[in-house]
Structure 1
Amino acid sequence: MIVTRKAMKRAVDAERARYDDLAAVVDVAFLPSVCRVIKEMREGWAVPFSYVAADAGVPDKWTREIIRALAALGLAEHHPFCSEDDNLIRGSGYSLTANGARVQAMLRARSGEEQ
């Protein structure tokens, strides 16, 4: 299959429009505290609520509800929490899913932060 420049440009423009639509939805639907929590989470690396709350500057109770709501939306998932030193399970926490990581990258790009 031969892909022309025109077809490639249409595909890139469509992807850019879809990205802008997602950005608009996130801007309207998520409160600033939710955005801060998403920015502090990691993909594939579970962290406890208290760690995210401390880094995001959001109360623990709010952080717990926010992360559980993100999990219900498919943006976060529950995992065992392993220590960095000995890689043993030390509890459990939530990490971002692939879709959650896309939202996080979009939020960071819009605020000018490094990823």
Structure 2
Amino acid sequence: MRLSAGAVGSGADLHVKEDQEQADVDPYALTAGLTQNACAVFVTTILNTWAGMFRLGRSRRFVAFAMDLLRSVNEKPGVADCVATIGDIRLFETFLNGDCADISSAVLVSDLG
């Protein structure tokens, strides 16, 4: 598989051995020791960029990982406000962590993609 960030010469080859079982990634280990700002950048990159780049949005394993990743950054998020209702779907808004003062992106994490 060939990965590229779009710029000429910025690609990399990725080889995965299909005959070996891969261990699950521990989101708590990924975020351990990161500052809250670093966690925010990491989480938004995973949810905004990687989910689309690797077409992970509808993967139940990715959704479960994303939820665990969010918990690893903030086990007890602040109050979530319901800001919109579309049929049976509710859109809630909350901050990623206590240091966030501005909302610069929105991400929907759902089993429906």
Q: TM-score, normalised by structure 1?
A: 0.29
Between structures 1 and 2, the one with greater helix share: 1
Q: Higher Cα Rg: structure 1 or 2?
A: 1
Q: TM-score, normalised by structure 2?
A: 0.30
